Amino acid sequence: MAFNRSNVNVARDAKNIVYGDQVIYGSISSNLDDAVSEATLKSLAQRSAPNACHDSEQRSPPPNCHPGTRTRILEELSQWFEDSSKTTKVFWFHGSAGIGKSAIAQNLAEKYAGKKVAATFFFSRNDTTRDNLAPFVASIAYQFATSGCLRPLLGPAIIKAIRSDLTLFHKSYENQFEKLIIEPCSELEMTNLDCIPNTIIIDGLDECIDHLSQERLLGIIYEATTVPRIPVPWVFLIFSRPEPQIRDAFDDFRTILRSFDFNSSDEAHRDIQMYFTDQFAILRKKHRRALRHEGTSWPNKDAIDQLVDRADGQFIFAVTVVKYIDTRDERPQDRLDTILRIYVERESESPYSDLDLLYRQILSTCHRWEKVRSIMEILVTPHKSPLDDSVWEISWRSPAIVAFLLDLQTGEVEAILSRLHSVLRMPEDDDHDIHITHASFTEFLSDRNRSGEYYTPEMSSSNYFDCVAVSLLRTFSTLKLHYPLCYPQSEFITAFSRWERMLRNDPSRLIHYSHHYWRYCKEVESPSADLIAALSSFDPCSFIAACMFHGFDLYLYSWEIVTKWAKVCILDFNLTMANSSQQSFGKSTQCFVEKWEPFFQGVCVAFPPVISPQKALWWTFDFERHLCHDPYPRRMFLQELYSINQAAMKSYPKGHTFLVLPADNRVQLPKDWIVTHATKNNGEAFMKVSRAFYAFENCPELLLDDVWDDTCKTVLRDWIKEDDLTNLKLLLKDRAEIFGIPLRRRTIKARGTNRKQE
């Protein structure tokens, strides 16, 4: 599955290097091939949006101009590129959706890459890694620091800026641009600057989802093109729709701005006709068996003219038509006839009426629309998380994860979406994202007036969290099916072996992520029936046992938060829902609460004979210390008291299989197993006493005497309360009996030495 937690690797020959917001020590070489530079560039890359570059694999194949089309516009833009004496520093190329702006941007980016173009950034509202301003500065800076002739000129200064300010990427975008772009550029010498790339291409500015961010970016660009201290004459080529906030922001640019309204171009109809003519020639060759009776005149000129007229300058219409016809599910001529028969109400309020009808026709071919809708709801909804989960690098819109979220079988997502190849780009494997090919399709689905019965809006945060929470809880349900306690007593040995084998063979990534991001459910405002059912079937015993095996922190206090949320849900159900079916939701949630609450006070643990009693004893005490958040170490004291060997004291439960039993344990285990309770009360009993270890000289020595000789020297000195000492004695002697490790008296070292060793 597409759960790949990113690993942090130290660059070769590097010392004192930590990625993230940590300082990176060392020196920088001018050619940036030293370990420090490589590490810093890697941290910069992690802040950038690789998908936003013109040569990104994620955008492959990118939109591009069909050969022989857009010639006049490309020529005009090329002249602007080549004009070294131009006074306009910003070229705004604007037009409505689907007319081919991104294709022109891509064409120019490829043509002038490394020669005139220094960096590119392609926004997309269908990709959460590049639908906002956060990665913009890092992306531009990374391209400056790694590409061609800019690398030696700007790379060292950019790396220096990152190393000198640990909080740089937590500051404003304006400040980031100042430190990573303007200041490094201001240090350049005036010689040979005419030869370096100086153009930044920004496509889809309107697809930066926050309008204020769009205005802020234009403000940053204005500053970069008007600040006098930069010797490099930076210029920007910007593509977008003519949205009001963008148009208003450009008002301040005045003399440095040149704009081009693509909608007013008379080139579009001719170009689209050329595109249709060429593509139908390809289709005739590709589908020659299905079209063998149509002849070389298919389709006739009238049909092409109708399609050109319907496109109304929108290349996305033409591209989608060709993709729709190019299928082996039906005869191409039948699909073309279907499109030509679509009747358009010219008084439609939508400016994209023909495109809307085309999208409707495509969706009408889906046989299982309700299943298609459920998948499309996921695809049009940006991934959201209660916590930052970017470190996991999960492809949340991959077929594997979509199937996981919707409880579908492997391969079912591809089968359900098989008729949507004209509007979706499917990956070659299960672990890369599915992409909606154009923003206009997302807009169509989210507008009820345009999409009608195919209306598929973005999921609310609460509903999305509900969906993810159900899926994550479902991963825990699979654990219960294998847990030995769920099998008859006669099958216990075999069941335990299967359980251990399953844990060792499971890569644990999905369980690991599910464990860390339990908070999805507490963000749900009104739980669905599926979420209630998932909570009801949740089994704490198998969950805790699996977490211990994989070495995960339990965060039981966090589950307390979830339980409090569940109690609020129960109260809401009791107050607002009256009929019996709805009341069952409250009962199911109550079941979840009742199962979890005992575990907040502790767990009953069963250790198999392959785990040494010394290890089991140490793990039990250490688990109790974490249960009550005790900051005071107790290792040296316990080692002296029980004479536990060093190997046991340094061991961890990770990779060891043992069982967690229910609070009302009635399970009959083999006699050679050790069963004990690790409780919060026991941990607190130890914590009350261990505080005195660091407060009073010789306290550990006297406490050992008190335990061994059953005296109360520490109480007489008023270091420890009598009840606390009594409770600790009972606990320690009880543990000695359970684990078969007798108490021993040893002379413990002085308090200061102990603290140093611990």
Q: Which residues contact 330 (CB under 8 A, 6 or more apart)?
A: none
- What is the b/e burial string over 374-387, where b = at least 16 CB atoms within 10 angstroms of the residue's CB? bbbbbbbbbbbbbe
- Residues in a beta bridge with 421: none
571 is written with which tokens? 């109260």
pLDDT of residue 6: 41
Order of strands, sheet of 257-261, starting from the edge strand that comes earlier in the sequence: 117-122, 199-203, 235-240, 90-94, 257-261
What gap in Å lies between CA 445 and CA 454, rounded to an integer? 7
Closest CA to 32 of 144, 115, 178, 189: 144
Q: What tens digit of pLDDT does each residue of 229-279 get?
A: 777 788 999 999 999 999 999 998 988 999 998 876 678 889 999 999 999
Domain coordinates of the chain in residue numbers? 32-262, 266-341, 369-459, 463-739
Q: How far apart are the first and last CA of the chain?
A: 41
Using CA atoms, how far apart are residues 303 and 393, in angstroms rounded to an integer?
47
β-pairing, 235-240 with 602-607? unpaired
* H or E, element range at 259: strand 257-261
Averaged pLDDT score across all residues of the chain: 84
Residues with Cβ < 8 Å from 1, sequence gap 6 or more?
400, 401, 404, 430, 431, 509, 510
32-262: CATH topology: Rossmann fold (3.40.50)
- What are the tokens at 483? 């847990």
Greatest mean pLDDT among 135-144, 259-268, 622-631, 710-719 lies in: 135-144
Q: Cα–Cα distance between 586 and 596 in angstroms, integer?
A: 16
Residue 199: closest CA among 63, 300, 99, 78? 78
Span 516-531, mean pLDDT? 79
Per-residue pLDDT tens for 542-587?
Answer: 988 988 888 877 666 667 777 777 777 766 655 555 454 455 555 6
pLDDT category of residue 691 using cuts at 50, 70 and 90:
confident
Q: How far apart are CA 556 and CA 758, in angstroms?
A: 26
Tokens for 325, please give them.
């016809």
pLDDT greater at residue 420 or residue 343: 420
Q: Give residue 676's pLDDT.
A: 93
Please, which residues bridge with residue 113 across strands? 117
Taking a C-beta distance cutoff of 8 angstroms, is the pair 450, 444 a contact? yes
Q: State the Cα–Cα distance between residues 715 and 723, nearest whole angstrom.
A: 9
User: Are the CB atoms for 627 and 679 separated by under 8 Å?
Assistant: yes
What is the reported pLDDT for 344? 54
Whole-angstrom Cα distance, residue 180 to residue 176? 6
Range with the poorest average pLDDT among 33-37, 166-170, 630-634, 747-751:
747-751
Q: What whole-number distance in Å separates Cα of residue 582 and Cα of residue 222?
A: 58
Residue 195 has pLDDT above 80, yes or no: no
Contacts of 674 (CB under 8 A, 6+ apart): 606, 607, 611, 613, 616, 738, 739
Residue 11 has pLDDT above 70, yes or no: no
Partner residues linked to 91 by β-bridges:
237, 258
- Residue 237 is classified by DSSP as E
Tell me: pLDDT of 752 over 50: no
Cβ contact 468:520 at 8 Å: yes
Q: Which amino acid is at 92?
A: W
| Of 501, 495, 514, 513, the residue nearest 549 (C-alpha) | 501
- Helix axes 101-112 and 71-82, enclosed angle (nearest 10): 40
Rounded to the nearest 10 degrees, the angle between the axes of helix 556-576 and helix 580-596 is 160
- pLDDT of 137 reads 97
For residue 313, pLDDT over 80 is answered with yes
pLDDT in tens, 67-116: 999 999 999 999 999 988 888 999 999 988 888 999 999 999 999 998 89
pLDDT digits (tens, 9 = 90+) for 320-346: 999 999 988 889 999 999 888 875 554
In sequence order, which ranges of 506-576 are alpha helices (DSSP H)?
A: 509-516, 519-522, 529-536, 540-550, 556-576
- 307 vs 120, 282, 320, 345, CA distance in Å? 34, 17, 11, 16
Burial class (CB in 10 A: 0-12, 13-18, 19+), 244: exposed
pLDDT digits (tens, 9 = 90+) for 360-380: 989 998 888 999 999 999 999
* Distance separating alpha carbons of residues 740 and 317, to the nearest angstrom: 78
Contact 81/108 with Cβ under 8 angstroms?
yes
| Tens digit of each residue's pLDDT (9 = 90 or more) over 435-476 | 998 888 998 999 998 899 999 999 999 999 999 989 888 887
- C-alpha to C-alpha distance for 33 and 476, rounded to whole angstroms: 46
pLDDT at 267: 83
| Predicted pLDDT of residue 192 | 61
Closest by alpha carbon to 99, among 70, 61, 120, 123?
A: 70
The one-character DSSP state at 13 is T
Nearest to 516 by CA among 394, 607, 378: 394
Sign of CA dihedral 653, 655, 656, 659: positive
For a pLDDT cut of 70, what percent of the chain falls above it?
A: 86
Residue 29 pLDDT > 60: no
Contact 438, 59 (CB under 8 A): no
Distance in angstroms (rounded) separating the CA atoms of residues 51 and 435: 12
Most confident of 150-154, 294-298, 646-650, 746-750: 150-154
Which pLDDT value is given to residue 515?
Answer: 67
Q: DSSP for 604-649, please give it.
A: EEEE-TTS-HHHHHHHHHHHHHHHTT--S--HHHHHHHH---HHHH
The tokens for 580 are 């019996």
Q: What token pair was written down for 211?
A: 């309008």
For the segment 507-518, the average pLDDT, to the nearest whole number, is 66
At residue 149, what is the residue type? C
pLDDT of residue 60: 84
612 Rama class: left (phi>0) / alpha (psi -120 to 50) / beta: beta
Candidates 106, 172, 137; CA nearest to 44 is: 137
Q: E strand or H helix at 238, and its extent?
A: strand 235-240
